[in-house]
Amino acid sequence: MVFIIADNIYSPLGKTSEENFNRLTRLESGIRRHENPGKSEQPFFASLFDPAVFNEEDVHTPFEQLLINSISEVLKQNLIDPSDQRTGLIISTTKGNISLIENRDLPEGIHQRVSLHDSAKRIAAHFGFTQPPLVISNACISGLLAMITGMRLIHSGRYDQVVVAGADLISKFILSGFQSFQAVSDQPCKPFDIARAGINLGEGAATVILSRKEMIERSVKLTGGSVSNDANHISGPSRTGEELFQSMHRAMEEAGLTSKDIDLVSAHGTATLYNDEMEAKAINLAGLQEVPVNSLKGYYGHTLGAAGLIETVASVWSMRQGIILPTPGYEQMGVSQPVNVSNQLRRATIRHCLKTASGFGGCNAAITITS
């Protein structure tokens, strides 16, 4: 058994999970219209940190500062020892310090700072972890894959507890990449809606501590997880949803659950035309078309390597508080298969939640969490 014994969301909506969830229940979004020539020649909608959040005098980069801030918050909640040989550290990100190479004149040694393992080592050293950190970078499923990896390391007997942290910041390099795919919406995103026009990007970090021991009352359990690949196209998702369904089915199977047991599906829900359609098909293949589904991208934007972790923590708090969050921007069904998209805040008993994610390269992931 693997328990989630501490959690944090560090985002433009707040520095703690509680502050974030309170703002979510008030239906507050971090997405704003930005005019920032340093990131884009055109105005864009995104959820970004105030630059004042970052300390320019710190030896750590803004990306590393995000991870440190989030990990610090979870370590305050639970008396685990990072220096314990039975404690592991996993870092999840898609781009890390990629913004460091956007300038043409690169100072000496900058390439080493861009490498993900360099950041991971710096984070580990900051907190005194003695075991080598592990980096998970697999497009937008990185956060869920990091949690699945942590769970498997605990099941294998390698660790008793694993700190899993993820973060990403939005740079010109990242934003221009999504713009080149014509995937960025010129308005707040609308997951699963007929008028959806693409994603909004977002910045954020999140951390969970996974443990084989239940150390707090009402710990939520990570009960299953699986990954798959479409083998379809480098940027276009499966047209059938079969491969994401395989991840969902295997995650439920590992947890000993069926579709009838699931009370909430926390979808990837990017609000792009093809991702939402693919997810709707997978949800139907899994027999979950009547289960409440939500996407949190309208609150946070797409936070890339942090998305799976941020949205999992929000789901954990939904389970504890008995609240199903609505999907911002959703008004009218815009996918070909029926999906029970949550569009209003409501009370409910949530015993089992299924969380999904998909990403470039055709990767898919799903986990199950149980209260």
- First-last CA distance in the chain: 13
DSSP structure class, residue 138: B
- Quote the CA–CA distance of 49 and 167 in Å, as a whole number: 12
Which secondary structure element, helix H or strand E, spans residue 309, and what is its range? Answer: helix 307-321
The structure tokens 């980069």 sit at: 61
Domains of the chain: 2-211 (3.40.47.10), 220-370 (3.40.47.10)
Longest CA span, the chain? 57
Per-residue CA distances from 219 to 1, 7, 140, 354, 368 (Å)? 11, 11, 26, 17, 14
State how far the Cα of 61 lies from the Cα of 56, in Å rounded to an integer: 8
Instruction: Count Cβ atoms below 10 Å from residue 44 Cβ, excluding itself.
Output: 22
Read out DSSP for 278-307?
HHHHHHHHTT-TTS-EE--HHHH-B-GGGH
Rounded Cα distance, 68 and 323, in Å: 30
Q: What is the pLDDT of residue 79?
A: 80
Give the Cα separation of 71 and 68 in Å (integer). 5
CB atoms within 10 A of CB 38: 7
| Spatial separation of the C-alpha atoms in residues 160 and 84, rounded to whole Å | 10
At residue 185, what is the residue type?
S
Name residue, tokens 């997880």. 225
CA atoms within 13 A on the CB side of 183: 20
Quick check: 326 and 344 in contact, CB under 8 A?
yes
Q: Which two tokens stand for residue 101?
A: 């190479």
CA atoms within 13 A on the CB side of 18: 4
| pLDDT the model gives residue 106 | 63
Phi, psi of 242, rounded to the nearest 5 degrees = -60, -40
CA–CA dist 192, 281 (Å, integer):
12
Query: 192 — alpha (psi -120 to 50), left (phi > 0) or beta?
Result: left
- 3-state secondary structure (DSSP) of residue 369: strand
Q: Mark the ranges of the chain whose per-residue pLDDT is less than 50.
A: none
Residue 128: its pLDDT value, please? 98
Token output for 277: 């359609």
**Distance from C-alpha of 57 to C-alpha of 224, rounded to nearest angstrom:** 42
Strand (E) or helix (H) holding 222? strand 220-229
